[in-house]
Amino acid sequence: MASDREQPGNNRECVDTVLDVLHLNMETLKDIQGRLHDNMVRGLSKASNPSAVVKMFPTYVRRLPNGSEQGDFFALDLGGSNFRVLLVRLSGDNVEMKSKVYKIATEIMTGTGEQLFDYIAECLAEFKREQGLEDKDLPLGFTFSFPCRQNGLTSASLVTWTKGFSASGVVGEDVAVLLSEACQRKKVNLKIVAVANDTTGTLMACAITDKNCYVGLIIGTGTNACYMESLDEVELWNGDRDEPKQTIVNMEWGAFGDDGALDDIRTDFDKAVDGVTLNKGKQLYEKMISGMYLGEISRQAILALAAKKLIFNGVVPPELQKPWSFESKYLTDIEKDNSTDGGAIKELLTQLNCPSTPHDIATIRAICSAVSTRAAKLVTAGLAAVIKKTGKRTLTVGVDGSLYKFHPRFHSLMETFTRELVPEARVKYMLSEDGSGKGAAMIAAVSG
């Protein structure tokens, strides 16, 4: 009699049973959409915001581009160990950019805040010299992509460092003030007219060419969303009530579920991933969606299937026994291979010292497909709540991030699920071009 191992059909059913926990039906997605809507309302309310996990910070960016923006602007893009300085020339819908990338040494990332901002000021001075603009006092848009509480258009206080930064004396301080003081010390003429994060920049960069763009979305290493909201809905608003009576709201939606709201859909895979992160119990929605985590979710599924002898004949090679050893890039590469024999997948499994039988290849495909599809469904369920909150029937979502750019199915999956979740709206997804650079300059332009 043939064993289970020799019965691919039987094995596949068993694999599907294990992966079924990742399947979310439309009823569940609509329920998640409703839960995020409730979280949005809590975050926008002054009374409930302190305990809300989706913080809904007003950004103080109130105008979208209308095509009349003119002039030269500097943009500074700081969000990791490399940062960029840009000179952006706006002439209506036409945008010209010159930029230079500077590397931040580890000792500066982990030194003092004064050292960090002095170094940035020195790089700004060098860039100005190279562009022949030493004496020009151009307005600067500052993209600072770390968790911040926005105090005004030109003021944002760092909540916590991430991405390997730990420069002292910055947490709780206004990063625009720290940059301005460093520029004064280094005698760099600059006027900071706006501080924003990359999500807001993404919306603004897309709004240059698409006047229906009211939502910005990042799906990369992390995830976040922002959208244009009426001031009447933003109880945290402490600015003027002049026209336009609106502001872009930075949702910080990665924290959705940190209060237990998603516990019923979190799987053992998700709990295991959370257990090997530095911020346990935090950013739980993000941990089911973004590029930083999808590879590890897939690895946890591999371990579960191997324990039942449903992949690799029950033996996980040492290469895959360590957390984070199955990179999200592998998932994207596997999803790209639609050949009948899975040649690229076989090559990858061989590199990882894994068996690559037809059954193993089919099972790895099934894992990566299930993990990717769930991520796209969860993003779209969240976006459905945002789209309905805007009340608009026709709108564009500006999107940036490596997962969205490089995953072969993410865009089409999101389009499909959007049609099912918000059939009444005509929604277009637009890939942002340089939201953190061009977007920052556009924020500076509309704020002038």
Our CA dihedral for 278, 283, 286, 288, rounded to 10 degrees, sits at 80
Q: Closest Cα to residue 367, out of 303, 318, 309?
A: 303
Active-site residue 198, yes or no?
yes
Q: 152 forms bridges with which residues in the sheet?
A: 155
C-alpha distances in Å from residue 199, one per residue of 34, 105, 125, 320:
23, 26, 27, 34
Q: Which of 77, 118, 174, 198 is catalytic?
A: 198
Q: Closest Cα to residue 448, out of 185, 68, 58?
A: 68
Which residues touch 418 (CB under 8 Å, ≥6 apart)? Answer: 380, 383, 384, 387, 425, 427
Instruction: Report yes or no: 108 and 167 within 8 Å, Cβ to Cβ.
Output: yes
Return the half-sphere exposure (C-beta side, CA atoms, 13 A cut-off) of residue 318. 0
Instruction: Report yes or no: 250 and 265 within 8 Å, Cβ to Cβ.
Output: no
Sheet containing strand 394-400, strands side by side: 57-58, 246-250, 223-230, 213-219, 394-400, 426-431
What is the sign, positive or negative, of the torsion defined by CA atoms of 335, 273, 146, 41? Answer: positive
Q: What would the two tokens of residue 139 be?
A: 């307005």
Q: Which of 163, 211, 280, 322 is catalytic?
A: 163
Active-site residue 98, yes or no?
no
Instruction: Report yes or no: 239 and 152 within 8 Å, Cβ to Cβ.
Output: yes
Task: Tell me which residues are annotated as active site.
Answer: 163, 198
